[in-house]
């Protein structure tokens, strides 16, 4: 797993601490950002929900994003995100929230240019999360 493009291009990212986290494949991540670029979307403030390893939000920061909030409930996964942010030099342009997505969305106040969701396959709260994000 690596950063595909931008200022941190080619940097390797620490993988998930367990099999419970399944990071988005680099090929799919690249297609996502190419699609956003083709639509003229240049995210400045990013919200990465169910962040896992942080690879999607880190990719957005590498491509010029000014700020990213990462929301991840798992303690070990949140630690991996922090390590990846330090190793890519983006720790000062981000914050990791170790929290459930539901709890975070109940308290958020900041506007975001793009919200990224990569939830677990069997998340029973995904419809409620989508409604909360708007």
Element (DSSP H or E) covering residue 116: strand 114-117
pLDDT value at 100 more than 80 = yes
Q: What is the mean pLDDT of residues 66-76?
A: 95
Is residue 116 in some structural domain? Answer: yes
Residue 127 clears pLDDT 90, i.e. is over it: no
Taking all residues of the chain, what is their mean pLDDT, rounded to a whole number? 87
Closest-CA residue to 76 (of 19, 9, 11): 19
Residue 18 maps to a domain? no
Residue 62, domain member (yes or no): yes
The count of structural domains within the chain is: 1
* Residue 12 lies inside a defined structural domain of this protein: no
- The pLDDT of residue 25 is 78
Q: What per-residue confidence (pLDDT) applies to 68? A: 97
Give the domain extent around 129.
Answer: 26-133
Which has the closest alpha carbon to 13: 73, 93, 81, 69? 81
The encoded tokens of residue 10 equal: 């080619």
Is pLDDT above 70 for 121? no
Question: In what helix (H) or strand (E) does residue 49 lie, and over which residues does it extend?
Answer: strand 45-49
**What is the pTM assigned to this prediction?**
0.86
* CATH code for position 81: 3.40.50.150
């Amino acid at each position: 797993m690596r950063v595909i493009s931008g200022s941190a291009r080619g940097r390797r990212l620490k993988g998930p601490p367990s099999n419970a986290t399944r990071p988005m494949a680099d090929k799919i991540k690249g297609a996502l950002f190419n699609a956003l670029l083709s639509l003229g979307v240049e995210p400045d403030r990013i919200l990465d929900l169910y962040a896992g390893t942080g690879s999607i939000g880190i990719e957005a920061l590498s491509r010029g994003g000014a700020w990213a909030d990462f929301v991840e409930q798992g303690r070990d996964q949140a630690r991996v995100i922090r390590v990846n942010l330090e190793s890519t030099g983006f720790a000062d342009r981000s914050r990791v929230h170790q929290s459930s997505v539901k709890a975070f969305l109940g308290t958020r106040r900041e506007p975001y240019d793009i919200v990224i969701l990569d939830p677990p396959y069997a998340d029973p709260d995904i419809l409620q999360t989508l409604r909360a994000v708007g």
